[in-house]
């Protein structure tokens, strides 16, 4: 499955057991954005685990309160950040403290998708 969903704040690429999300430049991700994630999870991953992969190509901010809501998604098997940018990785290390799910940071999409395949059920 490789559906592409475009929203005013991001683009989501949907695969069988993971999604790759690119947040738009300058966005501040807030808990209201979780409604979109919940809807996508219900639509594409009903009754199966999935991994959320954020490909941090652009510069944007994340309200840590987002992770409290994200942690409540029962079938979210893991969350990972893909970036080669030092600052984005440091921010992700802080964000990791707010999520009650497996959370990893990778340099490449290939590493992230391999991890997603490993931790999610089929």
The domains of the chain are located at 3-119
> Is the confidence at residue 1, as pLDDT, over 80?
no
Residue of 37, 45, 39 whose CA lies nearest to 16: 45
CATH code linked to domain 3-119: 3.30.750.24
Burial zone of 76 (CB within 10 Å; 0-12 exposed, 13-18 middle, 19+ buried): buried
33-47 mean pLDDT: 91
Tokens linked to 85: 């940018």
Q: What is the pLDDT of residue 115?
A: 96
Query: Looking at the whole model, is its pTM more than 0.85?
Result: yes
Determine how many CB atoms are found less than 10 A away from the CB of residue 43.
Answer: 11
């Amino acid at each position: 499955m490789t559906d592409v969903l475009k929203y005013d704040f991001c683009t989501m690429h949907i695969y069988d057991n993971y999604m790759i999300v690119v947040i738009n430049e300058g966005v501040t991700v807030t808990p209201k954005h979780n409604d979109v994630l919940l809807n996508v999870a219900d639509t594409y991953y009903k009754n199966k685990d999935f991994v959320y992969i954020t490909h941090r190509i652009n510069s944007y901010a994340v309200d840590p309160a987002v992770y409290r809501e994200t942690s409540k998604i029962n079938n979210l098997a893991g969350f990972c950040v893909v970036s080669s940018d030092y600052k984005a990785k440091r921010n992700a290390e802080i964000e990791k403290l707010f999520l009650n799910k497996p959370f990893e940071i990778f340099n490449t999409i290939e590493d992230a998708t391999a991890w997603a395949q490993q931790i999610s059920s089929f």
